[in-house]
Amino acid sequence: MRRNDSSSMTPPDAPVAPTPRPSRLPPHGGTLIRNVRRLDPSSGSDSIGDVAFRDGVIVDAAGGDFAEVIDGSGHWLLPGVVDLCARTREPGATQKGTMRSETHAALAAGITAICLPPDTRPVIDSTAMVNRVNRIAKAAAGTYVHMLGALTKGLDGEALAEISALKAAGCVGVSNGLTPMASALVARRALEYAASLGMTVHVVPLDAALANNGCAHEGAVATRLGLAPIPVAAEAVAMRQWISLVEDTGARIHFGRLSSARGVELLASAKRRGLPVTADVAAHQLFLSEHDLEGFNAMAHVLPPLRARADRDALRAAVGSGLIDAICSDHQPHEVDAKTNPLPLTEPGISAVDTLLPLSLRLVHDGLLSPLALAERLSAASSRILGLPAASLAPGAKADLCLVDPTNDWRLTPATINSVGRNTPFIGERFEGRAVRVWRG
């Protein structure tokens, strides 16, 4: 969905560090940010300078007076974050969140666009549903909302959806979510159909038979706690099958939410052979492991599951090298009751838009990513995967911007979470860095 209006959002709680102070100039319109560290992944530029925008478009900073002038000293400016997977829970489960609540929470956290999976209720498998979601998103007036259409009707894994109609309606890709395909034959036909239309197929690689309704990584923690296991093979087997089908069809596949070292190895092999594959990882997979389930911590119940520390380290290394293209939130807000049953009966997922940028900034502070690489993983790569215009700070680009204070020291509490969902294992943790101003279009 595209809009021409403009908005700016600041997180509601007062940050510890001071935000940039605007100075007053004659109201000729537009905003000028002075002396800011410009992180432009489209040009590979990391420099100190000025950035200006007017009427939703970046303009020459020397082009006249501006209504607002911001001192960006000590701050970073990057294209707005594009989140490859975020569920708003509307339509279908508004007790967990709404389009308005979740897109505004995302915007406050520096995210200017989200990609909605097709597993809404009803499923996004028709032009009518695409139009319905667009209407809801337009009324919400938060982030831009892009959609993945269903690969099969009703996500049943059997009959192919009308992918051509979904593309014409504006879907940026297709996916079957976490629902398995009925057979490899159906999967191959789906890839052939998508390839003929130039559509990317988004896959969460998890073999349903091997996962067997488990809730934890197959390892020492699951054994000790008596939790049903999900082996790494569930990811590896699914990836091998899809990669084999890519070899036959030439279709583009994006592997979402990788969780294992073996998955990283398969991705590396496919890329070395020049196959058209990309991948992302959820931010929480880069910091948590199976040990965070100790004490039957339902807040760490996610799918795919948190795996061994060696898997986490392999994912971090792959993000650092660029093998894994992008970092996403995999945002799944829940009501309190969804996380209060015995762990196997709780619903998987983390409310994560509030922590996507702060967790990613930890990778910079840890020395794993440069600030420019951060902008690449959060903005540029995600935009390319979705087929969106390049994330850029150049004049003429859309003014989807995120101003970051990288030294802002703050603590995540239920009161500082903007999402309706409070289901996160990061409650109580301190973060260094956050978005302090966000502009969308």
Q: Which residues are catalytic?
A: 330
Q: SS3 for the chain, per residue?
A: CCCCCCEEECCCCCCCCCCCCEEECCCCCCEEEEEEEEEECCCCEEEEEEEEEECCEEECCCCCCCCEEEECCCCEEEECEEECCECCCCCCCCCCCCHHHHHHHHHHCCEEEEEECCCCCCCCCCHHHHHHHHHHHHHHCCCEEEEEEECEHHHCCCCECCHHHHHHHCCCEEECCCCCCCCHHHHHHHHHHHHHHCCCEEECCCCHHHHCCCCEECCHHHHHHCCCEECCHHHHHHHHHHHHHHHHHCCCEEECCCCCHHHHHHHHHHHHCCCCEEEEEEHHHHCCCHHHHCCCCHHHCCCCCCCCHHHHHHHHHHHHHCCCCEEECCECCCCHHHHCCCHHHCCCCECCCCCHHHHHHHHHHCCCCCHHHHHHHHHHHHHHHHCCCCCCCCCCCECCEEEEEEEEEEECCHHHCCCCCCCCCCCCCEEEEEEEEEEEC
